[in-house]
Amino acid sequence: MKRSTKSHKFLSDLHLFVLIPSDSEHFSSPQSISPEISQILRDAELAGALVTHLEPGSDSGIEYQSVHVNRKNNKKNPNKRLVLVLSEPFQPSAKLLQSLPQHQAVVCIIDVVRECVSLQISLPSWIQSFPESINSKTHHEETPFTLKSNELDIVVIRTLALIESTLSCTGFGNRRSVQLQLMALACGARFDRNLSDGVTHLLADSVGSAKHRYASQSRIPIVTPDWLIATLERREKAQESDYALPPLASLGVSCLGFSDPHHKARISSTVQRLGGIFLADARDAAVSHLIIPANMSKAAAVGNLKLSTNAKVVSETW
């Protein structure tokens, strides 16, 4: 990613509420956190951010803390975006979490502040911890990149590794799609349920859908969810080529008319190497593609098997 050429006050739109454990009994007092984190926060202040260390042991909401700081400084910051900065494995209080949605606060780990300082950028407007499109009853499991409050999924931004990417997905159920969207947001990416022109990556675990065909024709990288998981775990963008969706992913493939068992074994091995599922019984209802030798016609194959499925009959060169 390129460094921004914007003003050195590139974080002037942010109010950082810092809740970070230390080796002492206190939390987030400027004197108790590590020198490394102190330097990150000093750099953030130099870049224009307002930094508030949450009171040790405080169980108040972020609104109280904001008002308290404004009164103390005798000024108001209505245009600043509220950001709760955490470090693992600290768990914010329920009251603090419940105060976040009304302010559309962003929740992130301290490394994200480090990335902002390094890249000289603020948090883009699309980075949200409370995206309306997924805060419903479709997702109830707390994950390493979410927190829970009143049945709301709170996305914890863990990295900006995908800040220049827009992801979409295909072939997944609603619950899995929501999980992938949460994960994408945690990596700083945009997420588009449709496959618009701005999409940079398509997540899939099988081939054949309309989105998959469009992405293939448009040369949009098609990767498995493992690519997104690896990016989140490493907190840096994983190589797409290492997680490219295999060309036969999840296709049920069989063959007919090959008398040589070694030849048939080679076909089976090739299908599996390309991500497909080789089915020994050509009449299996899960067969989507049936491979036949060059000396057999498609009509003969269909007639011999009396196929009742919609399996495509293809040659070995397919």
Q: Per residue in 251-280, pLDDT tens?
A: 899 988 888 899 999 999 999 999 899 988
Average pLDDT, the chain: 82
Answer with the residue of higher pLDDT: 54 or 74.
54
Q: Per residue in 71-127, pLDDT tens?
A: 344 355 567 899 999 876 666 777 787 778 888 889 999 999 999 999 999 998 888
Of 56-65, 228-237, 241-250, the one with minimum mean pLDDT is 56-65
**Which residues, in sequence order, are CB contacts of 96 under 8 Å at separation 6+?**
19, 54, 58, 59, 60, 61, 62, 84
Residue 244 has pLDDT above 50, yes or no: yes
> Would you state the pLDDT for residue 58?
54
Pick the CATH number of 252-315 from 3.30.365.10, 3.10.150.10, 3.40.50.10190, 3.40.980.10: 3.40.50.10190
List where CATH 3.40.50.10190 sits in the chain. 158-245, 252-315
Residue that has been written with the tokens 């109010």 in this structure: 15
Of 112-116, 137-141, 220-224, 291-295, the one with minimum mean pLDDT is 137-141
Give the pLDDT band of residue 27 (cuts 50, 70, 90). Answer: very low
Residue 272: phi, psi to the nearest 5?
Answer: -70, -35
Closest CA to 8 of 49, 40, 51: 49
Q: Quick one: three-class SS letters along the chain? A: CCCCCCCCCCCCCEEEEEECECCCCCECCCCCCCHHHHHHHHHHHHCCCEEEECCCCCCCCHHHHHHHHHHHHCCCCCCCEEEEEECCCCCCCHHHHHCCHHHCCEEEEHHHHHHHHHHCCCCCCCCCCCCCCCCCCCCCCCCCCEEEECCEEEEEECCCCCCCCEEEEECCCHHHHHHHHHHHHHCCCEECCCCCCCCCEEEECCCCCHHHHHHHHCCCCEECHHHHHHHHHHCCCCCHHHHECCCCCCCEEEECCCCCHHHHHHHHHHHHHCCCEECCCCCCCCCCEEEECCCCCHHHHHHHHCCCCCCEEEECCC
End-to-end Cα distance, the chain: 40
Angle between helices 174-186 and 225-234 (to 10 degrees): 30
Closest CA to 88 of 112, 64, 105, 106: 112
**Which residues, in sequence order, are CB contacts of 155 under 8 Å at separation 6+?**
107, 128, 129, 130, 131, 145, 146, 182, 185, 186
Q: Per residue in 136-182, pLDDT tens?
A: 545 556 566 777 766 677 889 999 999 999 999 999 998 899 889 99
> Would you state the pLDDT for residue 78?
61
Q: Per residue in 186-214, pLDDT tens?
A: 999 999 988 888 999 999 999 989 999 99
CA gap 198, 212 in Å, rounded = 15
Q: Which fold has domain 158-245?
A: Rossmann fold (3.40.50)
Of 17-21, 44-48, 105-109, 194-198, the one with minimum mean pLDDT is 17-21
Domain 1-123 class in CATH: alpha beta
> Would you state the pLDDT for residue 2?
47
Could you tell me what percent of the chain has a pLDDT over 70? 78
